[in-house]
Amino acid sequence: MTVLIDLILLAMLVITAFRIIYIKDLFSVVMLFGIYSFLCAALFVTLDAVDVAFTEASVGAGISTVLMLSTIAITGRKEKLSLHSHTFATLIVLLTGGALIYGTFDMPLFGLADNPVHEHVAPRYIETSPTEIGLPNMVTSVLASYRGFDTFGETVVVFAAAIGVFSLLGVRGKPTELLAQEQGLTQHKVLRVVAKISIPLIILFALYVQFHGDFGPGGGFQAGVIAAAAFILYALTFSLRKAVGVVSPRFVKYLAPVGVLLYASVGLVSMLNGANFLDYNVLAADPVDGQHYGIIIIELGVGITVFSVMLGIFYAFAGQVEKANVQ
Amino acid sequence: MSLIFEHFNHWVVVILMMIGLYIVITANNLVKKVVGLNIFQSAVFLMYITMGKVVGGTAPILAEGVTQYSNPLPHVLILTAIVVGVATTAVGLSLVLRIKSAYGTIEENEFQNKEDVI
């Protein structure tokens, strides 16, 4: 049964991706890409990667769709006819694809328990992490503790991307006269009521995902994105001005490094206690308790950074759209 | 027949990756190129998650009476990669916006021959 669902989802994925090639209307392309991401998320669930599915659903179908829509709001929704040589592209793609497919015959078969990828490191994570870290969710244990350095690096990369976007597009410190006139979807009563009901629930859910990530699927990355999505929904339905009044761009700008610094400070505290950077065992008398404290704090740091980066990027894009509308 | 099922995921990954590559090569519009890059990227994600799956296993969250878990390591790598992916996509899209404001167009063949105005 799972295999059947898997096959159907994969086929739908290919059909969606294939349609994107030929559609010239960018609005449809972006919408199809949202569907594509959601199918990906469903596929990740059937492949047992619930944490990844969570992230893909909130990021792919949520944030990146909004960012692409705000881009085409400025750049226009029609793609002009391409002058590129399609036969040349087809030839390259077929050659590369053929070589890759030829390569898959040497790959280990799908889903066998003794594949090389399951032989090294993973058994140790699966067998000892529940007692050594004391968390049932192994993904969180690996993410936050065993590979804490990696995750720290990723958080810094997300922060760096925010710096890139802010320096390219600029982010306002405070609302300007551009935002003076009232906007938002004033005519759409149903949307406004539904948004009003669901926004508190989305924020509550984000907090649940943040602090329950040690025990079930979830964690700082997902929670940050979900919380940012709640504020983006608020900005889209009730005008950017109101959203900026609740969480100002200046606040978001200062909040982004706070998460990274919180993460790094946990590492420094463990160094001051005589252990290695990000070794949580020394944070409490009992190593397992220390791991708990460390993971909760660094997940909070990740959540804060991801939330503020996503919201800040949205503000930067929305500010550009407003500017284009005024002109 | 079993060969098809055992490699089907890998083949779909290759097909998706090639669709992404094709869009990146042929698309004239920069936003569509970014979409193509994202499809290419998600094919890589799918590859990792496919490798982590163990048939008969469950999600790597400790539960009573479960002996076989799927591999948590690819999940961790891809989870963070997705969030980094959207952050870098945002950087790409903001470059597109700057190109629009500098050249007035984001169609590749239209700004390619213009003088460098930035």
What is the per-residue pLDDT across A21-41, written as a single tens digit (0 to 9) for each? Answer: 989 899 999 999 999 999 999
Pair (A190, A67) in one structural domain: no
Name chain B contacts of A86, Cβ cutoff 8 Å.
Answer: 26
Between CA B52 and CA A153 the distance in angstroms is: 23
Task: Note whether A158 and A223 are same-domain residues.
Answer: yes
B107 phi/psi in degrees, rounded to 5:
-85, 125
> Is A289 within a domain?
yes
Cα separations (Å) of A19 from A24, A27, A33, A37, A125? 10, 13, 10, 14, 41
How big is chain A, counted in residues?
A: 327
Residues A199 and A256 in one domain: yes
Same-domain status, A228 and A164:
yes
CB distance B83–A21 less than 8 Å?
no
Alpha carbon distance A113, A129 (integer Å): 19
CB contact under 8 A, A14 and B19: yes
Enumerate residues 197 to 236 of chain A having a beta carbon within 8 A of any beta carbon in chain B: 216-217, 219, 221, 225
Within this chain, do residues A163 and A310 fall inside the same structural domain, yes or no?
yes
Q: Is residue A125 part of a domain?
A: no
Q: Are residues A197 and A324 in the same domain?
A: yes
Q: What is the pLDDT at residue A67?
A: 94
Assigned domain for A93 exists: yes
Same domain, A72 and A173: no
Does residue A119 form part of some domain? Answer: no
Number of structural domains, chain B?
Answer: 1
- pLDDT at res. A155: 95
Q: In this structure, what CATH number is given to the domain that contains residue B63? A: 1.10.287.3510
Q: Structural domain tally of chain A? A: 2
Q: A65 and A193 share a domain?
A: no
Neighbour tally for A307: CB within 10 Å:
27
A33 touches B: beta carbon within 8 Å: yes
Selecting from A48, A80, A118 the residue whose C-beta is nearest the C-beta of B107 gives A80
- Nearest beta carbon to residue A52 from set B9, B21, B78: B78
Percent of chain A with pLDDT over 90: 62
Segments forming the whole domain that contains residue B90: 2-114
Q: Which of B5, B80, B82 sits opposite A151 (nearest CB)?
A: B80
Pick A64's closest partner by Cβ from B55, B86, B106: B86
Q: Same domain, yes or no, for A66 and A5?
A: yes
Residue A195 lies in a domain: yes
pLDDT confidence tier of residue A170, bands split at 50, 70 and 90 = confident
For residue A187, count other CB atoms closer than 10 A to its CB: 7
CA distances from B74 to A7, A71, A138, A157, A168 (A): 21, 32, 12, 19, 33
* Residue A102: how many other CB atoms lie within 10 Å: 10
Report the CATH number that the domain containing residue A90 is assigned in CATH: 1.20.120.1200
Q: Please tell me if residue B61 touches chain A, with a CB cutoff of 8 Å.
A: yes
Does the interface predicted TM-score (ipTM) exceed 0.95? no
Residue A187 lies in a domain: yes
- Whether A155 and A93 map to the same domain: the answer is no
Q: Please state the rounded mean pLDDT for residues B51-55.
A: 90
Write the pLDDT tens digit of every residue in B2-30: 666 778 889 999 999 999 999 999 988 99
Q: How far is CA A222 from the centre of its chain?
A: 6
- Write down the pLDDT at residue A315: 93
Interval A215-256: pLDDT, tens: 888 889 999 999 999 999 999 898 888 888 899 999 999 999
* Domain assignment present for A114: no
| For helices B2-26 and A86-104, angle between their N-to-C axes, nearest 10 degrees | 150
Domain-located, residue A129: no
In this structure, the answer to whether residues A241 and A325 fall within a common structural domain is yes
Task: Give the pLDDT score at A184.
Answer: 64
Whole domain around residue A298: which residue ranges?
A: 137-327
